[in-house]
Structure formats: C-alpha cells, structure tokens
Chain A
Amino acid sequence: MQDNKQLTTTSKGGAAVAVRDFLTSSPVALRMFERMPNEIPIKAIEAVLKSDQDIKTSAQSVRSLEPSVTRFASVYGERALAALVLSHLSLVEDMANVARPMKPEGMAMLAKEVTKMLMEEDVAINLADLQIVADRLVKGEAGQIYGGLNSQTVIKAFTDYISEKAGEIVEWRMEKAKEHGFGDFGTTRTREMSRLKDQQAMKLYLEGTLNKDIKQ
C-alpha cells in the first residue's frame, strides 16, 4: 500500500490524468497539483513548471530572469507560495529518508514561516532559488539532517543562501558598472553607483543581523 494511492484514486478525470503526465518533468509542480488540485491556480503550477531547473548557483540565479517569489505571491496568493515551499520541504524529507518525519502541523508552520521570511526579505528570491536551497538540503551542503528535518536547519539554509545571494548581487552590480565604463567606482553620481552602494550596505546589514541572530 504505497502511499495509499491505489486505494484512494488520486485521479479526478481524463483531463487531470493528462495534466499529471505533463507535469512529470517537475516533481514539485506535480506534487502541488496532486495535493491541492482545486485550490492552487493551474497558472501557478505552470509557472513552477517553467522555472528553470538548470540554475544551480546563486551567481546563475542573479543573472537569470526567473520570476521572484514576491511576484508569484502577489499574482497567485501567499497560500500558493506556501504550498510551493511545502512541496519542496516534503520532497526534501522524502529524499532524505528521515527516521523521524516532521509532524504535519510543524511542517505547515515551517512552510508558512519560510514564506513570510521570503516575502519580507529585501533580497529578491526567485523560484529557482527555492530549488537551489532544497538541493543543498538534500545533498547535506546546508548541514546534516540528523534523524529528521527541523526548522533550525531549514531556516538557516535559507538565511545563509540569502546572505550569499546578497553578495552575488554586489558582484553582479560591479560587473555591470564595469561594462558601462564607470572606472574604479570613485564617483557616486551615477545610478549604478548608488545601486551598488545600496547593495553593499544591504550585504553588510544582512551579515550583521544574521550573525546577531545566530549568536542569540
């Protein structure tokens, strides 16, 4: 009785089966579709399906044109974003084959917490970034999962990634500034320069606040 799927009949009709086949290339989109079939707009699932799975690093993510999570939430609702985060987390848990899985209440609460954090974050997080963090959790690059997934590991993985991405944004701004021939960044009059300063300040701020959080 694997997952009770055979006994509960997850398919709801011919059309649904066709969509299900279509979604097999993206496990996250498939899971969102299966678990919340009538509650998440199909366009939201399509957006998840179209998000580029070849983006593997924060540097690639900064230079991509992936839609941000804030945009995703403003169009399809925060619940859809929470469902997306929960799909990632549940897949991580499945792949890590944990001994003590999280309770449903805890998992839902963690997904909501991460959603809130991503929405309030000034650094733009996009759909590919969620996949990157999930991959890191699975591979153990964001800390070992002993026994089971927990909120500290997950939230630290996200905060670490946000900090890393802030640094990458600074690098990207400097790169763009050099392309436009602004020299050695001595001037502060251009728009690029002011953006760069903002980003650098944000990076310093994030490093400070994150370190403070961890120390507490």
Chain B
Amino acid sequence: MNETMEGIMDTVSRMRKTDKIKLVNLILASIKDAKNEATGAPMPVYEGLTVFEEVYRAKKGVSYAPSGNFSTADFKHMKELLIKISDRLSEGGTVLVTDALRIGNLKMFLEAVCKMKNQWYFENRFMPYGLNHDFENIYTNLKNNSDYARQQAAYNYL
C-alpha cells in the first residue's frame, strides 16, 4: 500500500459512476463501525444491503435506493439486523457463524417476510429500520407457523 494521494485520486477519477457509489458505500459501511460490539466480529453490512436491495426490487419492482446510495440509518439498522441473526445462529453453540451463513440466512429471512400475508408490511415497514425492529416478532411468528414447527408440535403431542 505505497500509493500516494495523487495516485489514489487519479484512480478514483477514472472510476465509473457505479464503482464510485460502491466505494462510497463501502467507506460508509466501515465508518458506521460494522462490527459486533459484543464479539468484535465484523458484519458484512454492505453485502447485506445489496441482498436487501435485490429482494426489494424482486418484490416491489422498484429499487429501494435508486441512486445506489444507502442512507446512514440503513447501514446502522442492517448492522443490528445482522447481529440479531448472528445471535440466533449461534444459539446452539456448535455452528461456526460465517459471513456466508449470515448473508444466506438474511436472504432466507427477507424472502420469508416477502411471503407473509400481511401486505401492509411491505408498504410501510419493509426497510432495514422496520426489519430490525420487528425481527423478534417476525421470527417467532415464522417459527410457530412454519411446516417444520407444525410437524414438531405433532411430535411433541405424542
């Protein structure tokens, strides 16, 4: 890393607009302290937002952040959402929680939310802020109403 300031500026000036936006987002993600305070594990915040953007576009047909720039609040709440998912993943204590696992579960969670019958949610709270605040409720609801939970309940009744 012996690049000079001029070299960096030169590289940035020759970048395409989408790459510049990506760079700004990455810098923002790092500024927003994308680490879990409790464990110190880094959180793939920008990656999570990218996945959210994909799911959002697939569900609603429009982009969540048309310009590609996410707000600082989005970074903050996505980080907290990923921490909550990581906590759930590490409940058993035997799973090695990796970034791929976090992102995979985030995607599954978002897709499960998309399949919910409550369409009001998509119009009003389907954003990192809402997902972060409603995670526990949605998770419990999905857990209790899924096929897996229903069949497990049948086994418990035996």
Contacts and interface: CB of A to CB of B under 8 A. Distances in A.
A94 interface: yes
B157 A11 contact: no
Contacts of A107: 151, 154
Given A9-B89, A9-B94, A11-B95, A4 B154 contact: no
Contact of A9 (B91, B108, B152): B91
Contacts of B89: 6-7, 9
Contact of B157 (A2, A7, A105): A105
Contact of B104 (A6, A14, A105): A6
Which of B95, B143, B154 has the most CB atoms of chain A within a 10 A radius of its CB? Answer: B154
Interface string B109-144: 101100000000000000000000000000100110
Given A35-B155, A107-B154, A1 B111 contact: yes
B149 interface: yes
A108 B146 contact: no
B101 interface: yes
A56 B139 CA distance: 42
A3 B146 contact: yes
Nearest to B150: A104
B106 to A, nearest CB: 10
Contacts of B155: 35-36, 83, 86, 108
A90 interface: yes
Contacts of B156: 104
B108 A108 contact: no
Contacts of B142: 1, 4
A108 B157 contact: yes
A101 interface: yes
A2 B104 CA distance: 11
B155 to A, nearest CB: 5
Contacts of A35: 151-152, 155
B148 A104 contact: no
Contact of A101 (B104, B147, B152): B147
A21 B91 CA distance: 22
A136 interface: no
Contacts of A206: none
Contacts of B148: 3-5
14 contacts: A1-B108, A1-B142, A4-B142, A6-B105, A7-B88, A7-B108, A7-B139, A8-B92, A11-B92, A79-B158, A86-B154, A107-B151, A107-B154, A108-B157
Given A6-B101, A35-B151, A108-B155, 20 more contacts: A1-B105, A1-B108, A1-B109, A1-B111, A1-B146, A3-B148, A7-B108, A7-B109, A8-B92, A11-B95, A35-B152, A35-B155, A83-B155, A83-B158, A86-B155, A101-B147, A104-B157, A105-B157, A108-B154, A108-B158
Interface of A: 1-9, 11-14, 35-36, 79, 82-83, 86, 90, 94, 101, 103-105, 107-109, 111-112
